[in-house]
Structure 1
Amino acid sequence: MKRSLKIFIGILTGFVAITSCENQAEELTSTAIESSLLSKYISVGGSLTAGYTNGGLYREGQLASYPNLVAQQAGVKFDQALFPVGQENGTGYWATTQNNTSLQFDKISDKLAVLTTSPLTLAKYSGSVANNYGVVGLRVSDVNKAGFGNAKIQGFNPFFERILPAGKEETSYTDFVKESNATFFTVSIGEQDLLSYATSGGKISMTETSSFALNIQKMLDALVVNKAKGILTNIPNVLDLPYFNFYTFSELAKKLGTTEIYITTGNGIVRAATANDKILIEAIANVGKLNAGNQKKGFTMTYPLTTEEVLDKDEISIIASRLSDFNGILKFEAEKRGIVLVDLNSLYAQVNNKNYSVNGVKFDNSLFTGGFFSLDGISPTPRGSAVIANEIIKVINENYKNSLKTTIPSLDVSNFEALKVKQTQF
């Protein structure tokens, strides 16, 4: 399925050197760190931890997950639930192709591990998870739910179900990672608690602050119960992601030759969009579409964009407030347990403000040329994951130098893929 830049928007959201990312990850060389600190390193969290990128989870993305890159550089054993050969494209993902006039997009849909699509179920992973416990779409509000990986229960998570051993279907995520007996951990979670609300235009409820606090406390307590050391990342500002900033309403109106674009707010009010509102990337192609009455969508008050297609200024304010609450909780709970906090929020802000560069590579939040964000407009590219891995490595070296025999070397991020291009078959 191909789409030009003008009409491409339909990207799966929740759940530039072009070479094979799998080869990049597997060919990394590193110095083994002879330390009991990292003798059992596990990674905990959601889509970022799992290696979700370009709108899907697939083997190349898994190999470029930041925890795997950290482990490779440290020279420590790190098992992941990799999609096997023959199913290496996992859920499928987006890739680009170039013709003479525009950038086009293909949904890679062969060699999948998908068993059913409604609900989504995936081929079971039969090996040992052991180290990477990343689960796509995992929210803090989910981590203590019994049966969250049970395919017989409505609302289960297919990515968690895929890695749960037989007979463990009722095990909560917290109890599952507690069984790892880790000596060191990294945790990246909480972004999806905001994104579920944000990417649905406010339709799906956001995690309550009290629930977030209670669940993160229980999970962190389980991780440090055996005196394990660890790192916790805070949550980036989701409102700065390309998914919500592909076009402003004024840019879109000018492009389509209209003076105003009308939206429906979360309160049901129809009004002209302002600079304080955002359109979801997947809704852009709907603007100007004709209905049966020959009206162009968004061009009149009688045929506005729906509330699910936009974030109005009040919804944006709610997200910003909840982000502040969540990050405050993460900081407090990390300090209380001696867990080192890594400021991903600040890193993403530098990328958004075009103030981040490394190895001679500059980054920004442009969807196609920025290098950091993948084609889904939310998750990082392999190059972006390498940037995050370097931040984690730097913090490990600074805070645990007395436990390490030598420092962990950083990655050259220029060696990693910045834009997913479909490989041409000859």
Structure 2
Amino acid sequence: MKNYKYIGLLLLSIGVASCDVNNELDPILEDTVPEVQLNAGGLDFSKYIAVGASFTGGFTDGALFIKAQENSFPNTLASKFKLAGGGDFNQPLMGDNIGGFVFGGNAVQPPRLYFNGAGPTRLAALPTTSLTARAEGAPFNNYGIPGAKSFHLTFPGYGSLNPYFGRMASSATATVLGDAMAQSPTFFTLSEVGGNDVLGFATSGGSGVDQKDNLDPSTYGSNDITSPLVFNQVFRGMVGAMTSGGAKGVIATVPDITLLPYFTTVPYNPIPLDAATAGAVNGAYAQYNGGIQQAFGALVAAGAITEAAANAEVAKRTISFSAGQNAVVIIDEDLTNLGAINPAFAALPQLRQSTDKDLLVLTSSTFIGTLADPNNPLSVNGVGVALGDQWVLTETELASVQVATDAYNAIILDVVSTNANVALVDLNAILSEAANGIQFDNYTMTTSLVTGGLVSLDGIHLTGRGYGLMANRILGAIDAKFGSNFTLATDGLSKADDFPTNYSPALR
């Protein structure tokens, strides 16, 4: 308070001494940012149609719900397109902000996740969206179908197999592409087509089949990898159909899904042991290790395998624990099946410990360390009991995912290079960039689970803010290809602060 007194006296003395001087100061003008008018570059946004899978729908935190759909990247794009003559954008909104489906009074798909202070957990609420109820607001502009693989988008009657499309399909035999084309789009986005073609295989720990040479998707299992030959035919046909009436649009590459926290959060060596416990575990595996050495020695002697190959596999299959962090024990079906070579070794399982080239899936975090037999303290999953195929994506399985993803992206890039009506947004590059931090206004977002801000609590899909960033990258791709100026125009881009990274559990 004394400082204010002295300052006041000083100002008074200056005023008295300078009474014959003009003390009127020029007003301080606020900095003004010149308004930049939006230039659409001649694009027609009057009928924008979005086609894709869960990212297009706005899926986040393990579910689809109203607020997430309102924050979907197509809805954000539509709000910007409206500034340039775009029309209304209707979405097949869910019935609540709980997420999931209910049928016969029971939840048949679970509600969304929220952060309870310790980790992601399911909302303790019953969904109100009926599995068989029609969505209101037809015709729709957003054909983002969670779970859809590339060939599903052109499959007649897919609505009977996927409730997200079933609640909006125009008929029992409708296709996603057909319903989208019936709206006569003037502009479109075709995004994350191909993601689900490898995702099911990856999230199931590679429990499906790599169908790389199989041209008949009707024979595929739900977790199989789609043949690039099938993807090539479907994707080229879809882009050809979408642009057949002169419409322009943006297509996206398939991101490397193994950069997502669903595959990077759980380390390969999550087992902490002290020296005494490690020694006891090693004692339990001594007979197995000895049996492996004996079996491969016999195979070398019989000329069934070379000594170098035998030594390499013995080293890979030997189980050894020590004080500190330890790799889990896993079943690896790609190891040599000793029993198939010699029935005398049929009792030796295909076991090894994980390495930093294997990826443990996110759900394994609640399974590793539990007891397979509650009455047997030695039956610790991941230590005394090997993890099954569903908990880990091995190096070999990961290679299958990457080969297919690279093949899909090569096709997408070729389509872009040969079709003047489409621009490219490289989701694969965006996700790679985010691994080290990607800037969105004042935020640096990463792919870390919970804290990264880019990927939602399910470890796979984006947050609302992540979808806002995706919308901006698409707008940038439109500018670069078609000469518009969304990235420079006033309010041409979305703002990070307009999008959440987490939704409150109170939101229903």
TM-score range, shorter chain: 0.7 to 0.9
Q: AA paired with 2:162?
A: N
The sequence identity of aligned pairs, in percent, is 26
Q: Which residue of 1 aligns with 2:357?
A: 276
Deviations 1:17-52 (A, max 9, x none): xxxxxxxxxxxxx97969661111111100000000
Aligned length: 373
The separation in 2 between residues aligned to 1:236 and 1:177, in whole angstroms, is 24
| Deviation of 1:414 (Å) | 2.5
The separation in 2 between residues aligned to 1:241 and 1:398, in whole angstroms, is 28
Equivalent residues in 2 for 1:256-275, closer than 5 Å: 259-267=326-334, 269-275=350-356
Q: AA paired with 1:187?
A: L
1:134 aligned onto 2:144: yes
2:477 corresponds, among 366, 389, 395, to 395
| Deviation of 1:221 (Å) | 1.5
The separation in 2 between residues aligned to 1:409 and 1:348, in whole angstroms, is 23
The separation in 2 between residues aligned to 1:390 and 1:347, in whole angstroms, is 12
Q: AA paired with 2:50?
A: S
Q: Which residue of 2 aligns with 1:90?
A: 99
Equivalent residues in 2 for 1:2-401, closer than 5 Å: 37-75=44-82, 76=86, 77-84=88-95, 87-91=96-100, 92-98=111-117, 102-103=118-119, 105-113=121-129, 115=130, 121-150=131-160, 156-165=161-170, 168-188=171-191, 189-203=193-207, 204-250=223-269, 252-254=270-272, 259-267=326-334, 269-292=350-373, 293-294=376-377, 295-300=379-384, 303-338=385-420, 339-354=422-437, 356-401=438-483
- Contact 2:55/2:461 (CA < 8 Å) preserved in 1? yes
The separation in 1 between residues aligned to 2:268 and 2:259, in whole angstroms, is 15
The separation in 2 between residues aligned to 1:126 and 1:411, in whole angstroms, is 27
Tell me: higher relative CO, structure 1 or 2? Use CA pairs within 8 A at least 6 residues apart. 1
| Deviation of 1:144 (Å) | 2.0
Which aligned runs of 4 or more in structure 1 are off by greater than 4 angstroms? 30-36, 255-258
Whichever structure has more helix as a proportion of its residues is 2
Q: TM-score, normalised by structure 1?
A: 0.82
The separation in 1 between residues aligned to 2:177 and 2:199, in whole angstroms, is 21
Q: Cα 1:357–1:282, aligned 2, differ >3 Å: closer, same or farther?
A: same
The separation in 2 between residues aligned to 1:39 and 1:108, in whole angstroms, is 41
- Contact 1:50/1:62 (CA < 8 Å) preserved in 2? yes
Q: Which residue of 2 aligns with 1:24?
A: none
2:502 corresponds, among 386, 395, 419, to 419
Deviations 1:228-265 (A, max 9, x none): 10100101110110000112112x12389663310112
- Contact 1:97/1:106 (CA < 8 Å) preserved in 2? no
- Contact 1:94/1:108 (CA < 8 Å) preserved in 2? no
The separation in 1 between residues aligned to 2:81 and 2:355, in whole angstroms, is 49
Instruction: Name whichever of 361-370 and 71-80 sits farther off.
Output: 71-80
The separation in 2 between residues aligned to 1:32 and 1:130, in whole angstroms, is 27
Tell me the C-alpha RMSD between the 2 structures. 2.4
Q: Cα 1:298–1:69, aligned 2, differ >3 Å: closer, same or farther?
A: same
Q: Cα 1:413–1:200, aligned 2, differ >3 Å: closer, same or farther?
A: same
Q: Which residue of 1 aligns with 2:10?
A: none
The separation in 2 between residues aligned to 1:137 and 1:332, in whole angstroms, is 25
Q: Cα 1:213–1:126, aligned 2, differ >3 Å: closer, same or farther?
A: same
Q: Which residue of 2 aligns with 1:20?
A: none
2:154 counterpart SS class: coil
- Contact 1:174/1:218 (CA < 8 Å) preserved in 2? no
| Deviation of 1:281 (Å) | 0.6
2:59 counterpart SS class: coil
| Deviation of 1:403 (Å) | 10
The separation in 1 between residues aligned to 2:481 and 2:431, in whole angstroms, is 22
The separation in 2 between residues aligned to 1:417 and 1:308, in whole angstroms, is 32
The separation in 1 between residues aligned to 2:175 and 2:225, in whole angstroms, is 21
Q: AA paired with 1:43?
A: A
The separation in 2 between residues aligned to 1:412 and 1:206, in whole angstroms, is 37
The separation in 2 between residues aligned to 1:47 and 1:142, in whole angstroms, is 13
The separation in 2 between residues aligned to 1:389 and 1:396, in whole angstroms, is 11
- Contact 1:184/1:228 (CA < 8 Å) preserved in 2? yes
Q: Cα 1:318–1:36, aligned 2, differ >3 Å: closer, same or farther?
A: closer
- Contact 1:261/1:273 (CA < 8 Å) preserved in 2? yes
Q: AA paired with 2:358?
A: D
- Contact 2:330/2:387 (CA < 8 Å) preserved in 1? yes
- Contact 2:80/2:492 (CA < 8 Å) preserved in 1? yes
